[in-house]
């Protein structure tokens, strides 16, 4: 089992905007293993009034997946060979979705 003393947080954003919106973006470099074959772990979360509305993550045991409210589905955005540029692209997609959902929620 790899040592998690080698985990490195490479992106850490906590953004508050609007009256009730918060976005948390976390990206870590972790030891490559069967749980994280690319050596990257990420969590992108959009909260509205304290409730998770949208999230992308790849926590161990589930692989890449997307949450929209209570619905969870696989995220086929990329496979095990993802790199930090892929994560940057996913963050751009995530922010676009956040912007669209925020508009709907604030009506």
Q: What is the pLDDT of residues 57-94, one digit of tens each?
A: 998 777 888 999 989 887 776 666 788 999 999 999 99
Q: Residue 74 is inside which H or E element, if any? A: strand 71-74
End-to-end C-alpha distance for the chain, whole angstroms? 49
d(CA 8, CA 19): 32
Of residues 9 and 75, more confidently modeled: 9
Question: What integer pLDDT is reported at residue 3 of this predicted model?
Answer: 55
* The pLDDT of residue 20 is above 50: yes
Question: What integer pLDDT is reported at residue 1 of this predicted model?
Answer: 42
């Amino acid at each position: 089992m790899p040592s998690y003393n080698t985990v490195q947080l490479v992106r850490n954003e906590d953004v508050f905007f609007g009256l009730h919106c918060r976005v948390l973006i976390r990206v870590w470099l972790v030891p490559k293993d069967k749980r994280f074959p690319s050596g990257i772990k990420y969590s992108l979360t959009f909260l509205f009034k304290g409730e998770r509305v949208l999230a992308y993550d790849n926590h161990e045991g589930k692989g890449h997946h997307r949450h929209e409210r209570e619905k969870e589905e696989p995220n086929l955005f990329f496979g095990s060979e993802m790199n930090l540029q892929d994560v940057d692209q996913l963050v751009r997609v995530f922010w676009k979705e956040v912007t669209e959902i925020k508009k709907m929620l604030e009506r």
